[in-house]
């Protein structure tokens, strides 16, 4: 009898999966996959880039992948992405289930939230952070201060080979920390080093397309094959540190001296509490938003700078040309600034080429639609998980001929002006476009130009050039490498 029941249960489950995984008419095309299991063999997080490139080549802008009964739809290409996210505007609905967003960030914050909560806190975040320089030129002063510390630390290596990752992470973390926490950490600070290391590991060791993001039950299996338990442990520690920063702010909050984003939030919370209003300015919302801003603001930009240094190492002529341009415009004894940018078009073009070719965010995070959407003759169902494949824009040979070649001149017009940068897909587009785009571009330009002005980027004598292959995770990051930075005096 028991065996009969078990068999019946198995057959029922298989039947349900089969029925749920049946594709409707005009479903976006994709590889056929194994019955019931779907395409679990076709999309491996560690080789997602190459797989998605091949799938778009074969099937076009819309590609569907099935994990058991669950459909993932990848929208690629500039035209289709714009059609969906810009022309149709308000198509994105509630965030679908994904482990990181649902279990770790509890669908709070900005990145992991949706609907009214997302709208309110995206707007509040942008407005509050702007008071402290976010997206404004006044942020330059903060970045230049950090560059001073950064270069002093670089000097201490005296041209000897070293891994620049921890230093870049901590320096970039300090820029966002100034806006969000109102303070910078010493470059030797152990907590800051621990946060950066946990977050770097988090983004390189998991992917939005990992099975744990679609099948919550995997977290309950014994052991930690899918890394979900470690992820929870690491975030418990990150939240613990963030909570202590929030507590410190709460105990020293002064309405007449608002220091940073946390203060703005706490003040808003207090006002709403005092007015006995129902509101979303909860402690959980604060903790998650602060952690998201810190993660998004630190990891992506520092990864882009690391790619930039690596590409310059591989392209010494580009370094020389940047340095010549800087030396012609910037008097010795000071660093390049944003006001110099119009006179440093090649340097700016290099930054754009780094953003394009490095593909720091190869796909967006998961999204879902409010309703079924018909496009390019296919129907994208609202219960599918949707990803925008930004890599397919940045590597589109029609937009960027010979896309795998590092060629900053593709962004230079014949009369030496920066051009064509709007074609880049790196920050996504539409309502969910990256909140920190202008900050990231500012940091990339200022860090890269100051570094090239002062040092020659070289590989360690006798060693081969480090690989330009990256590690696929939540972001696409370079493998660990060492460089020598020899001072130019």
Query: In the numeric block, which tokens belong to residue 117?
Result: 């909560």
Q: Select the residue interacting with ligand HEM from 293, 307, 445, 481 (CB under 6 A).
A: 293
Which of residues 360, 373, 384, 442 is near ligand HEM by CB under 6 A? 360
Task: Give the residue with the Cβ less far from ligand HEM, 81 or 315.
Answer: 81
The answer to whether residue 451 forms part of the interface with ligand HEM (CB under 6 A) is no
- In the complex with ligand HEM, which residue's Cβ is closer, 51 or 475? 475
21, 432, 454, 484: which one binds ligand HEM (CB under 6 A): 432
By the rule CB under 6 A, 146 interacts with ligand HEM? no
302 lines the binding site for ligand HEM (CB under 6 A): no
Q: Which stretch binds ligand HEM (CB under 6 A): 35-43, 308-316, 412-420, 430-438?
A: 430-438
* 66 is a site residue for ligand HEM (CB under 6 A): no
Cβ contact 142:178 at 8 Å: yes
Binding residue for ligand HEM (CB under 6 A) from 213, 300, 394, 449?
300
Q: Report if residue 173 touches ligand HEM, rule: CB under 6 A.
A: no
Q: Is 434 annotated as a binding residue?
A: yes
Q: Which of 386, 214, 204, 366 is nearest to 295 (CA)?
A: 204
- Please identify, among the stretches 22-30, 245-253, 273-281, 435-443, the one whose residues bind ligand HEM according to the rule CB under 6 A: 435-443
Name the one residue in this structure whose structure tokens are 């795998």.
404
Closest approach of Cβ 388 to ligand HEM, in Å? 7
Residue 299, C-beta contacts closer than 8 angstroms, at least 6 positions apart = 169, 199, 200, 203, 475
- Establish if 204 lies at the interface with ligand HEM (CB under 6 A): no
Q: Which residue of 21, 165, 204, 301 would you call a contact of ligand HEM, by CB under 6 A?
A: 301
By CB under 6 A, residue 426 contacts ligand HEM: yes
Piece in contact with ligand HEM (CB under 6 A), picked from 199-207, 212-220, 432-440, 465-473: 432-440
**Quick check: 126 binds ligand HEM (CB under 6 A)?**
no
Taking CB under 6 A as the criterion, which residues in 390-419 touch ligand HEM?
Answer: 390
Stretch that binds ligand HEM, among 1-9, 294-302, 374-382, 447-455 (CB under 6 A): 294-302
Nearest to 403 by CA among 413, 392, 412: 392
Output 84 or 485, the one with its CB closest to ligand HEM.
84
List 80, 428, 449, 453, residue binding ligand HEM (CB under 6 A): 428
Shortest-Cβ-distance residue relative to ligand HEM: 436
Q: Residue 163 corresponds to which tokens in the numbers above? A: 């891994």
- 70 touches ligand HEM (CB under 6 A): no
Q: HEC states along the chain? A: CHHHHHHHHHHHHHHHHHHHHCCCCCCCCCCCCECCCECCCCCCHHHHHHHHHHHHHHHCCEEEEEECCEEEEEEECHHHHHHHHHHCCCCECCCCCCHHHHHHCCCCCCCCCCHHHHHHHHHHHHHHHHCCCCCCCCHHHHHHHHHHHHHHHHHCCCCCCECCHHHHHHHHHHHHHHHHCCCCCCCCCHHHHHHHHHHHHHHHHCCCCCHHHCCHHHHHCCCCCCCHHHHHHHHHHHHHHHHHHHHHHHHHCCCCCCCCHHHHHHHHHHHHHHCCCCCCCCHHHHHHHHHHHHHHHHHHHHHHHHHHHHHHHHCHHHHHHHHHHHHHHCCCCCCCCHHHHHHCHHHHHHHHHHHHHHCCCCECCCECECCCEEECCEEECCCCEEEEEHHHHHCCCCCCCCCCCCCHHHHECCCCCECCHHHCCCCCCHHHCCCCHHHHHHHHHHHHHHHHHHEEEECCCCCCCCCCCEEECCCEEECCCCEEEEECC
User: Quick check: 110 binds ligand HEM (CB under 6 A)?
Assistant: yes
Q: Is 434 in the site for ligand HEM (CB under 6 A)?
A: yes
Candidate list 365, 408, 470, 473; residue touching ligand HEM; CB under 6 A: 365
Q: What are phi and psi of 372, to 5 degrees?
A: -55, 140
Size of the site for ligand HEM (CB under 6 A): 25
The region of 6-14, 37-45, 345-353, 360-368 touching ligand HEM under the rule CB under 6 A is 360-368
Residue nearer to ligand HEM on the CB measure, 297 or 345: 297
With contacts defined by CB under 6 A, name the span among 49-57, 138-146, 299-307, 370-378 that binds ligand HEM. Answer: 299-307
Q: Using the rule CB under 6 A, which residue among 67, 99, 105, 111 binds ligand HEM?
A: 111
Point out the annotated binding site for heme. 434
Q: Which residues bind ligand HEM (CB under 6 A)?
A: 110-111, 122, 176, 292-293, 296-297, 300-301, 304, 360-361, 364-365, 390, 426-428, 432, 434-436, 439-440
């Amino acid at each position: 009898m028991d065996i009969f029941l078990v068999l019946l249960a198995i057959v029922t489950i298989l039947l349900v999966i089969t029925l749920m995984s049946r594709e409707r008419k005009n479903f976006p095309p994709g590889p056929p996959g194994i019955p019931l299991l779907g395409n679990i063999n076709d999309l491996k997080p560690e080789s997602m880039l190459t797989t998605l490139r091949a799938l778009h080549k074969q099937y076009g802008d819309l590609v569907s992948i099935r994990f058991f009964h669950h459909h993932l739809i990848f929208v690629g290409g500039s035209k289709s992405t714009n059609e969906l996210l810009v022309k149709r505007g308000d198509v994105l609905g509630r965030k679908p289930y994904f482990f990181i967003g649902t279990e770790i960030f509890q669908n709070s914050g900005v990145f992991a939230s949706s609907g009214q909560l997302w709208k309110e806190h995206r707007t509040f975040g942008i407005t509050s952070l702007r008071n402290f320089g976010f997206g404004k030129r006044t942020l330059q002063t903060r970045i230049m201060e950090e560059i001073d510390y950064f270069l002093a630390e670089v000097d201490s290596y005296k041209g000897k080979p070293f891994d620049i990752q921890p230093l870049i992470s901590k320096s970039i973390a300090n820029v966002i920390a100034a806006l969000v926490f109102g303070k910078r950490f010493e470059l030797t600070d152990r907590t800051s080093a621990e946060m950066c290391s946990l977050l770097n590991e988090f983004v390189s060791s998991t992917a939005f397309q990992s099975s744990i993001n679609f099948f919550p039950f995997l977290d309950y299996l014994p052991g930690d094959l899918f890394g979900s338990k470690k992820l929870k442990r690491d975030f418990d520690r990150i939240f613990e540190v963030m909570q202590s920063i929030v507590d410190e702010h709460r105990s020293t909050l002064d309405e007449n001296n608002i220091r940073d984003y946390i203060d703005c939030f706490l003040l808003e919370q207090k006002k709403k509490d005092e007015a006995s209003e129902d509101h979303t300015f909860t402690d959980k919302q604060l903790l998650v938003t602060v952690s998201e801003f810190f993660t998004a603001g630190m990891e992506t930009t520092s990864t882009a700078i690391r790619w930039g240094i690596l590409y310059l190492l591989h392209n010494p002529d580009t370094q020389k040309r940047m340095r010549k341009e800087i030396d012609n415009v910037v008097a010795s004894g000071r660093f390049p600034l944003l006001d110099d940018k119009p006179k440093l078009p090649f340097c700016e073009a290099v930054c754009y080429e780094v953003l394009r070719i490095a593909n720091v965010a190869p796909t967006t995070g998961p999204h879902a639609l409010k309703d079924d959407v018909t496009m390019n003759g296919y129907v994208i169902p609202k219960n599918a998980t949707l990803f925008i494949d930004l890599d397919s824009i940045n590597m589109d040979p029609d937009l960027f001929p010979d896309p795998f070649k590092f060629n900053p001149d593709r962004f230079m017009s014949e009369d030496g002006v920066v051009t064509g940068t709007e074609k880049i897909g790196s920050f996504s587009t539409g309502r969910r476009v990256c909140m920190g785009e202008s900050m990231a571009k500012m940091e990339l330009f200022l860090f890269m130009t100051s570094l090239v002005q002062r040092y020659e980027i070289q590989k360690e004598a006798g060693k081969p050039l480090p690989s330009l292959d990256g590690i696929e995770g939540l972001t696409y990051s370079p493998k660990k490498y060492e460089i020598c930075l020899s001072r130019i005096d």
